[in-house]
Amino acid sequence: MIKILLSLFRPFRWFIERMGADYDQFIRILELKLTLDDRRTRGINKTNTNSSEISNTILKQSFSQIIMGVMFAVVVMLVKSQFTFFFMMHIVLMIMMAMLIISEFTTILFDTSENTIIQPLPIAGNTQSLARNAHVFLYLALIAFNISVVSIVMAIVKFGIISGLLFLVSILFNVLFTLFMANILYLGIMHLATGEQLKTVVMYFQIVIAVLFMAGYQFGLNMIDRSKILDMTISLHWYSYLMPPVFFSGFIEAISTGTFDLKHILFIIESLIIPVLAIYLTTKYLTPVFNRKLLNLEQSDKATKVTKSSGKITGYYRIIEKIFTRRHEEKAAFRLAWQMSGYERLFKQAFFPSLAYVLVMIGVNFFKHDQTIESLQHSQRYFIIMYAFVLISFTLTTAILLGNNRQTEWIFKVLPAVSPADYFKGFIKAVFLRFFTPFYLLVGIGIAAFWGVSVIPDILIAWLSIYMLTLIMFYIQHPQFPFSNAKSASQGGTSFVKVMGLMLVSGIIGYGHYFISSKLGIYGMILLIVLYSLGILLVNRIWVYKLITWEKIDSYNSY
Amino acid sequence: MSTESIVEIKNLVKYYGQKQVLHGINLDIQPGQIIGYIGPNGAGKSTTVKILCGLIDDFDGDVKVLGKNLRTEQTNIKKQLGYIPENAALYESLTPLEFMQFVGRMRAIEEDVIRSKAEALMDIFEMKSNLNQRIATFSKGMRQKVMICSALLHNPELIFMDEPLSGLDANSVIMVKEMLIHLAREGKTVFYSSHLMDVVEKISDRIILIDQGRVIADGSFDDLSRLANDENLEKLFTRLTGNTNHGERAEAFINAFEK
């Protein structure tokens, strides 16, 4: 599998060399990255060396992405115009790619962990950064392909084989273009900021972009008039010629229908030239800067050593610690996670965009165009807002694992703890209470102010159910110690799929809550509070000790 | 042998953020020597080595390695460098052979040469049987050995070692020491940064002592001891770096427990 993937680059050898990279070194670095991904997903303790390939994880991911692709295909299925069909698919793809780059692959583009090994080697010019981009490209292309494979088949049936094949080609162009746009953007930021600031700027930039995309997506969905979707045609303005989905669709239309007027020739030229030009410009002129800045980034990790710890042990912390933790192991783990989560860049980078998502959800629900304040007050839309918080708590359970403190597992193993479960209880409670709860409370106050105090029990119930869900999610995932794991490229698709599944679960829980409290009134609410409280007790006092044992931990960690 | 300097450092200055770690280092190093580069923790030893190996790009001052300017000809210089870092960072999920194959291919060494050299080098360390096991299962010393082997794979002219003996057992330490002496005899230059005074004292042709980013002593061990009248390098070291009250401190350490 890895060999096949690598051989795909052979026809482009001349191009890679023109970019100032050494082709052999390029292939070797890529091979290394893929091998590492492959083995990482197969667990650390399996010491067999005969590589039986990426296989399972990728296959599972691909399957769920294809299912997602079916959903998109259903939406565009009946669209009559060829141009509109491809236009919509390209827009969806571009948004998805951009979001994936920002949420999942940024850490890989900015990865400096391999520098001690790769830097001392005589590597020609841009080889390393080109390989890094190619690595991300492979994953993105795979995801893009999975999502659109159903639509490609549909395009072949509807518009002929040529259109379908051209669509496939244009998808690859789209991925390339989006990836290199991201590069340009990141380079832009890197030009503006240096060293210490850079990390912070990149983080906030990520958050802003994530918000913009999610907002655009949500608002866009709201604005499409679903009744007209079938006959929709895209009217072209001068700026349309600058939009990649437009010229990619125009390119397909032109060749498959044999239309070669001025407009379509322009589309063809744009489609062929712009992605290539984008790659050329970035690798030739911008990546050297990128690399240099990346080295600074690593060094500035050193420079920050002098920054004082602000020792965030506040009154809030003391109260929370008393209420939520019991044994001293749990308290110690609680405090560790509380403090570390305040410092860890990777954690924040992964976590903050999800906060933004909830803000967008609130915004979308308030600013629907055909809505008045009164009708909103009579609706029960606050359920959507409350249960959108599930996404935050899910991000917490995975973000807490990320960090540059490799090989710190031994600390926990060497301590005389009866059950490791206490540590894990402490970890998740700390981040949940530090990052989730205050924000939830704030929004809860807003909800209560808008919909009236009678919804306060609902706010409490939602909090309890999300708390329980968070604990369960954290306890059933592979028990790894926090702030010590690298983000791997091959996991990018997994969490995306998980988020989709989670949306479904939170929808069910939210709907159940809505149903019971509207049917049974106050008794229903009391019932739910009691049920969830008991559930939390059960999870925290009994279940977790059965679930997280040293045997299980030892199979996922090495010391 | 030419007497032209293999490493030439002029007024090397390095900042980490606001903090200055190197305050103008000047050095001229002749080929075929073992240079012992010593100093207390945080003196700037690793930083110097990293700059010379091209791991850190942004520094002030002029540095020439192998007669070439480090800023403009870094890639050419790297072809003839071997670097053994302090904390053996390796790709844990690879095997030593795979790791060395990667490093070798990156250096454009032929496939069969890589394999035979990897086997030969690992055999010296009695690790030939470990060639196809995952590095993740190795002890610190074993990792260090893999590191040393992969750094020597391309027969470099100039070898930088940052605390290379850490984690090695006594036999391996003797082996590495002998190996260094042999390498120097063949005309290779070894730049050896360490805390282990007795090893440095025995093998180094020249000792450079730095403290707080400045060179404070430079010469062969005989030169240094003639100047200062210290019977060993350890004494010299403590005198020059200004820590003479070790006894008191050790006592304070014990007292801290008894409180």
The pLDDT tens digits for B38-67 are 888 888 888 899 889 887 878 899 999 998
Degrees, nearest 5: CA angle A388-A321-A305: 85
> What pLDDT does A392 receive?
86
- Contact flag B89-A295 (C-beta cutoff 8 Å): no
> What pLDDT does A45 receive?
39
Rounded Cα gap, residues A206 and A203, in angstroms: 5
Q: How far is A31 from chain B (nearest CA, A)?
A: 9
- Contact flag A122-B106 (C-beta cutoff 8 Å): yes
CB distance from B107 to chain A under 8 Å?
yes
Rounded Cα gap, residues B259 and A109, in angstroms: 51
- Position with higher pLDDT, A152 vs A47: A152
> What pLDDT does A44 receive?
42
Most B CBs within 10 Å, among A49, A117, A408, to test the B interface: A117
- Shortest CB distance from A28 goes to which of B79, B81, B106? B106
Above 0.90 for ipTM, yes or no?
Answer: no
Nearest residue in B to A36, CA atom:
B93
Rounded Cα gap, residues A247 and B160, in angstroms: 54
Q: Which residues of chain A neighbour B105 with C-beta distances below 8 Å?
A: 24-25, 28
- Position with higher pLDDT, A196 vs A359: A359
- Contact flag A28-B98 (C-beta cutoff 8 Å): no
CB distance from A292 to chain B under 8 Å?
yes
For residue B201 the two structure tokens come to 């004292």
CB A101 within 8 A of CB A136: yes
State mean pLDDT over A2-20: 84
For residue A551 the two structure tokens come to 């045997």
Q: Identify the weakest region by mean pLDDT among A16-30, A256-270, A309-323, A359-373.
A: A359-373
Average pLDDT of the residues of chain A: 79
- Position with higher pLDDT, A221 vs A558: A558
Has residue A47 got a pLDDT over 80? no
Which residue has 């608002």 as its token pair?
A: A219
Most B CBs within 10 Å, among A2, A22, A40, A121, to test the B interface: A121
- Contact flag A121-B16 (C-beta cutoff 8 Å): no
pLDDT single digits (tens) A425-478? 999 999 999 989 999 999 999 999 988 888 999 999 999 999 999 999 999 888
CB distance from B111 to chain A under 8 Å?
no
- Position with higher pLDDT, A285 vs A548: A548
State mean pLDDT over B89-115: 86
Most A CBs within 10 Å, among B22, B79, B100, B105, to test the A interface: B105
Has residue A534 got a pLDDT over 90? yes
- Contact flag B105-A196 (C-beta cutoff 8 Å): no
Has residue A479 got a pLDDT over 50? yes
B223: pLDDT confidence band, cut at 50, 70 and 90? confident
CB A360 within 8 A of CB A212: no
- Contact flag B106-A302 (C-beta cutoff 8 Å): no
CB distance from B68 to chain A under 8 Å?
no
A299: pLDDT confidence band, cut at 50, 70 and 90? low
A321: pLDDT confidence band, cut at 50, 70 and 90? confident
Q: Which residues of chain B neighbour A116 with C-beta distances below 8 Å?
A: 55, 85, 89
Q: Phi and psi dihedrals of A198, rounded to 5?
A: -55, -45
- Contact flag B134-A302 (C-beta cutoff 8 Å): no
Average pLDDT of the residues of chain B: 85
Nearest residue in B to A406, CA atom:
B89
- Write the DSSP assignment of B214-251 as a string of letters: EEEEEE-HHHHHHHH--SSHHHHHHHHTT---HHHHHH
Has residue A311 got a pLDDT over 60? no
Most A CBs within 10 Å, among B55, B103, B153, to test the A interface: B55
Return the amino acid letter for A310.
S
Degrees, nearest 5: CA angle B117-B122-B125: 140
Q: How far is A57 from chain B (nearest CA, A)?
A: 17
Rounded Cα gap, residues B60 and B24, in angstroms: 9
Q: How far is B88 from chain A (nearest CA, A)?
A: 9
- Contact flag A32-B91 (C-beta cutoff 8 Å): yes
> What pLDDT does A50 receive?
41
**Between A and B, how many residue pairs show a Cβ–Cβ distance under 8 A?**
91
CB distance from B72 to chain A under 8 Å?
no
State mean pLDDT over A297-303: 56
Strands B189-194 and B34-38: parallel
> What pLDDT does A48 receive?
40
Rounded Cα gap, residues A51 and A466, in angstroms: 40
> What pLDDT does A84 receive?
82
> What pLDDT does A224 receive?
54
CB distance from B178 to chain A under 8 Å?
no
SS (H, E, C) A501-555: HHHHHHHHHHHHHHHHHHHHHHHHHHHHHHHHHHHHHHHHHHHHHHHCCHHHHHH
Q: Is the dihedral of CA B236, B237, B242, B246 positive or negative?
A: negative
> What pLDDT does A535 receive?
95
- Shortest CB distance from A47 goes to which of B19, B105, B133? B133
- Contact flag B17-A306 (C-beta cutoff 8 Å): yes
> What pLDDT does B160 receive?
92
Nearest of B104, B139, B137, B138 to residue B121 by alpha carbon? B104
Nearest of A359, A345, A91 to residue A208 by alpha carbon? A359
- List the 176-205 stretch of A: residues with Cβ below 8 A of B: 195-196
Nearest residue in A to B20, CA atom:
A303
- Shortest CB distance from A306 goes to which of B19, B83, B137? B19
Q: How far is A123 from chain B (nearest CA, A)?
A: 6
pLDDT single digits (tens) B167-207? 788 888 888 888 888 888 888 999 989 877 888 888 889 99
Give the three-class secondary structure for B82: strand
Q: Phi and psi dihedrals of B209, rounded to 5?
A: -110, 125
pTM to 2 decimals?
0.68
Mean pLDDT comparison of A297-306, A402-411, A499-508, B69-78, highest-scoring range: B69-78
pLDDT single digits (tens) A219-274? 655 555 555 555 556 666 666 777 778 888 888 888 888 878 888 888 888 888 88
- Contact flag B54-A120 (C-beta cutoff 8 Å): yes
B1: pLDDT confidence band, cut at 50, 70 and 90? very low
> What pLDDT does A54 receive?
46
Q: How far is B81 from chain A (nearest CA, A)?
A: 8
R_g of chain A, CA atoms, integer Å: 25
Percent of chain A with pLDDT over 90: 12
- Contact flag A24-B79 (C-beta cutoff 8 Å): no
> What pLDDT does A213 receive?
65
- Shortest CB distance from A121 goes to which of B92, B107, B137? B107
> What pLDDT does B251 receive?
79
Q: Looking at chain A, how many residues does it have?
A: 559
Nearest residue in A to B94, CA atom:
A36
How many CB atoms are closer than 10 A to CB A119?
A: 22
Most A CBs within 10 Å, among B21, B93, B159, to test the A interface: B93
